[in-house]
């Protein structure tokens, strides 16, 4: 799946600025650019007139993409000489601040396939399939300041439509040209322009202009995108504060990307039809308009925006599906962090952007989890008012963790220094283990006594405890402030079991054997054996195809339980009656409940002293064929139930036994 990546030029600019000027507080006022762009997408030929005020007294110095050149420069209306040196363009000479510079720039945008970096969205390209002029590759005079204001007029042949970041002021088609004007009268990143043979659809929603720029063949998707975008914008505006821009555009891209821009997202045309794209992915990119676009990121002190966006968009969507989906997402965050080797772990403060999976485990998973813990620490109401406070104080500014802490301390009315220092400045996570557990009584009161250990460095953590008793569940939380601590919790009589953080609400290192078995545990193992007992050729062929799709390698296939090596994971594929027969040969035991549900199902079955089984059954050969296509997309699940082609139930098992669960002897 294509994930969102954000151009990193802003970072480079910020670093350059900070290294030469010191603190962020000293950021310069934004320069205003007046831009007149004429572009022919078919040939890539473009011409730009860029006018801006120069704040300094010295020579004018700026950068431009390598495929552009300055053909003319003037200062206050007087033509001037131009020089090029060490990757910079110069207009020499001194003068008072506020001189008006006008540059004429021209060149040819490279074709898509010739441009290294184009497929990642970091380089401009042009062609009939689409043109892209990203802010990441300077196509107007790029001075080393992170944000500017601009007014931009773009003109293309009438067969095309062009769209830019900024407010749409006007548009018209005349004399064979389409011309549109955009304005950013607020501080924002340098403009990005998109053009193509687009069909434009529009929906006005609460004063925000929503548009899709799709190729003809995708137009049927437009209405759903507009409706979804309107719903997300309304929902997020209510929660955080009014949407900061006047437009939101979904623009189809001829490259495999999902990129976010102020007031726009640029998404691969090939994947527009996927429900994920107009669901979670669209929600994520819209949320970035608050975090990352209108509130900029103080990269020197860590990128907080990815984790916050993930928490408020992706995770909030999981929450609307129910507690199981939310729990599963938290578990997946912990699993991704558990995969980071300790020597490569870094504090959140060091996360800048997603360059590899490890960075993602920290910048997305850990940071999102930190916001989850913060919300539990201060409560939903204080969390949401802290978000609104942070937004109010930092809209159209660049902000860092310090500003987040200030906003949440204000809303919570408490000192959160310990929380932010522990989770942001320090690396690692506690490794909580259950060292002992016992039932006892004191003065007639039943108690559960247990000891927890958190491994190396000491974190302050509120650890949820769930005790199952004859008269119901007791939920409590204990606070760890030392490496090893003993706790006692009063309970009604008849405690049956004790579980430590069973719903994964604290950020910690998972213990081995703690996570429930999911499909991937069986399909990733190179030792897995495939059981296909069917004598029916249609069933056997479909089963083999499913096996190949899941394992993605050569398989060892058996047809009878007797051929099975007991120490290897097993993948069973067949009809429901074939599974019943197999199960009876394996030994006594009840049929699992799941067998009675839907027309097909898949589930993992932990077995004592066995590395685990993944069982896939369907009521008939046709039902088995129905589930074959979707099954490989659900590798993180413990169970799935299908009704024909449709998934009607899915989830991850609750672990009732394991290193953090204790069952008392009768």
**Which residues in this chain contact Zn ion in the complex, by CB under 5 A?**
4, 306
Q: Residue 312 CB, nearest distance to Zn ion (Å)?
A: 11
Q: Residue 367 CB, nearest distance to Zn ion (Å)?
A: 11
User: Would you say 306 or 468 has its CB closer to Zn ion?
Assistant: 306
Residue 238, H or E segment: helix 222-240
User: Would you say 254 or 292 has its CB closer to Zn ion?
Assistant: 292
User: Would you say 243 or 304 has its CB closer to Zn ion?
Assistant: 304
In angstroms, the Cα distances linking 341 to 375, 480, 512, 531 are 28, 25, 15, 35
Q: Residue 284 CB, nearest distance to Zn ion (Å)?
A: 6
Q: Which two tokens stand for residue 423?
A: 């989770």
Cβ neighbours of residue 421 closer than 8 Å, sequence gap 6 or more: none
Q: Residue 43 CB, nearest distance to Zn ion (Å)?
A: 34
Greatest Cα pair distance, the chain, in angstroms, is 96
Q: Residue 306 CB, nearest distance to Zn ion (Å)?
A: 5
Q: Which residue has the tokens 């008392």?
A: 664
- Within its chain, how far is the Cα of 385 from the centroid? 23
User: Would you say 306 or 389 has its CB closer to Zn ion?
Assistant: 306
What is the rounded radius of gyration, in angstroms, for the C-alpha atoms of the chain? 29
User: Would you say 161 or 288 has its CB closer to Zn ion?
Assistant: 288
Q: Which two tokens stand for residue 337?
A: 């962090």
Q: What are phi and psi of 327, to 5 degrees?
A: -60, -40
Q: Residue 309 CB, nearest distance to Zn ion (Å)?
A: 5
The per-residue DSSP string of 183-214 comes to EEEEEEPPP-EEEESPEEEEEEETTEEEEEEE
User: Would you say 6 or 99 has its CB closer to Zn ion?
Assistant: 6
Q: Residue 164 CB, nearest distance to Zn ion (Å)?
A: 21
User: Would you say 218 or 265 has its CB closer to Zn ion?
Assistant: 265
Q: Which two tokens stand for residue 652?
A: 């991850």
Q: What are phi and psi of 561, to 5 degrees?
A: -55, -30
Angle between helices 380-394 and 401-412 (to 10 degrees): 130
In angstroms, the Cα distances linking 150 to 25, 153, 192, 423, 544 are 22, 10, 11, 39, 59
Sheet holding 88-91, edge to edge: 60-62, 88-91, 83-85
User: Would you say 228 or 293 has its CB closer to Zn ion?
Assistant: 293
User: Would you say 293 or 534 has its CB closer to Zn ion?
Assistant: 293
The residue whose Cβ lies closest to Zn ion is 4
Q: Residue 404 CB, nearest distance to Zn ion (Å)?
A: 17
- Map 33-100 to HEC letters: EEEEEEECCCCCEEEEEEEEEECCCCCEEEECCCCEEEEEEEECCEEECCEEECCEEEECCCCCCCEE
User: Would you say 126 or 289 has its CB closer to Zn ion?
Assistant: 289
Q: Residue 519 CB, nearest distance to Zn ion (Å)?
A: 27
User: Would you say 214 or 291 has its CB closer to Zn ion?
Assistant: 291
Q: Residue 122 CB, nearest distance to Zn ion (Å)?
A: 16
Q: Residue 305 CB, nearest distance to Zn ion (Å)?
A: 7
Q: Residue 536 CB, nearest distance to Zn ion (Å)?
A: 48
| 26 Rama sector, left if φ>0, alpha if ψ -120 to 50, beta otherwise | alpha
Q: Which residue has the tokens 């507080």?
A: 25
For residue 510, the 8-state DSSP code is P
| Residues linked to residue 72 through DSSP beta bridges, in sequence order | 104
User: Would you say 4 or 153 has its CB closer to Zn ion?
Assistant: 4
- Within its chain, how far is the Cα of 134 from the centroid? 21
């Amino acid at each position: 799946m294509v994930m969102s990546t954000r151009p990193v030029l802003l970072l480079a600019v910020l670093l350059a600025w900070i290294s030469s000027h010191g603190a962020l507080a000293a950021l310069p006022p934004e320069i205003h650019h007046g831009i007149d762009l004429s572009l022919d997408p078919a040939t890539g030929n473009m011409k730009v007139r860029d006018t801006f005020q120069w704040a300094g007294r010295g020579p004018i110095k700026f950068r431009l993409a390598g495929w552009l050149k300055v053909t003319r420069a003037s200062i206050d209306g007087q033509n001037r000489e131009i020089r090029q040196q060490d990757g910079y363009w110069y207009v020499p000479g001194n003068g008072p601040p506020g001189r008006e510079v006008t540059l004429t720039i021209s060149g040819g945008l490279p074709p898509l396939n010739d441009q290294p970096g184009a497929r990642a969205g970091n380089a401009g390209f042009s062609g009939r399939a689409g043109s892209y002029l990203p802010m990441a590759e300077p196509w107007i005079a790029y001075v080393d300041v992170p944000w500017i204001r601009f007014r931009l007029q773009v003109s293309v042949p009438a067969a095309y439509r062009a769209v830019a970041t900024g407010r749409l002021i006007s548009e018209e088609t005349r004399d064979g040209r389409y011309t549109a004007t955009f304005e950013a009268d607020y501080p924002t990143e340098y403009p990005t322009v998109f053009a193509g043979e687009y069909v434009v659809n529009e929906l006005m929603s609460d004063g925000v202009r929503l548009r899709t720029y799709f190729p003809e063949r995708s137009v049927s998707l437009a209405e759903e995108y507009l409706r979804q975008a309107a719903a997300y914008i309304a929902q997020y505006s209510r929660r955080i504060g009014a949407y900061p821009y006047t437009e939101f555009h979904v623009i189809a891209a001829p490259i495999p990307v999902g990129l976010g821009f102020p007031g726009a997202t640029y998404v691969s045309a090939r994947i527009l039809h996927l429900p994920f794209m107009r669901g979670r992915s669209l929600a994520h990119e819209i949320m970035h308009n608050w975090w990352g676009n209108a509130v900029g990121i103080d990269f020197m002190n860590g990128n907080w925006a990815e984790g916050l966006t993930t928490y408020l968009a992706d995770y909030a969507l999981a929450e609307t599906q129910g507690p199981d989906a939310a729990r599963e997402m938290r578990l997946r965050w912990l699993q991704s962090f558990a995969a980071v080797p300790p020597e490569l772990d870094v504090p959140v403060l060091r996360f800048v952007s997603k360059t590899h999976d490890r960075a993602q485990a920290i910048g997305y998973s850990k940071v999102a989890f930190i916001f989850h813990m913060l919300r539990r620490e201060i409560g939903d109401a204080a969390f949401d008012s802290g978000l609104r406070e942070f937004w109010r104080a930092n809209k159209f500014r660049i902000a860092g963790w310090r500003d987040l802490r200030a906003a949440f301390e204000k809303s919570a009315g408490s000192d959160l220094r310990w929380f932010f220092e522990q989770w942001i400045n320090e690396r690692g996570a506690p490794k909580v283990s259950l060292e002992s557990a016992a039932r006892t009584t004191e003065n007639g009161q039943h108690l559960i006594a247990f000891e927890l250990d958190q491994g190396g460095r000491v974190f302050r953590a509120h650890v949820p405890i769930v005790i199952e008793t004859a008269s119901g569940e007791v939920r409590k939380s204990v606070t760890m402030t030392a490496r090893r601590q003993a706790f006692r919790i009063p309970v009604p009589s008849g405690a049956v079991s004790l579980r430590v953080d069973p719903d994964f609400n604290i950020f910690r290192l998972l213990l081995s054997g703690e996570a429930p078995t999911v499909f991937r545990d069986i399909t990733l193992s190179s030792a897995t054996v495939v059981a296909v007992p069917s004598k029916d050729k249609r069933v056997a062929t479909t089963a083999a195809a499913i096996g190949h799709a899941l394992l993605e390698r050569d398989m060892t296939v058996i047809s009878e339980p007797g051929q099975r090596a007991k120490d290897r994971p097993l993948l069973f594929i067949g009809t429901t009656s074939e599974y019943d027969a197999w199960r009876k040969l394996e030994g006594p035991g009840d049929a699992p409940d799941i067998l009675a549900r839907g027309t097909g199902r898949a589930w993992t079955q932990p077995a004592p002293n066995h590395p685990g089984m993944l069982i896939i059954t369907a009521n008939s050969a046709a039902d088995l064929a129905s589930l074959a296509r979707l099954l490989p997309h659900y590798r993180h699940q413990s169970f799935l139930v299908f009704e024909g082609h449709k998934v009607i139930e899915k989830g991850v098992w609750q672990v009732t036994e394991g290193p953090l669960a204790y069952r008392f002897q009768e």
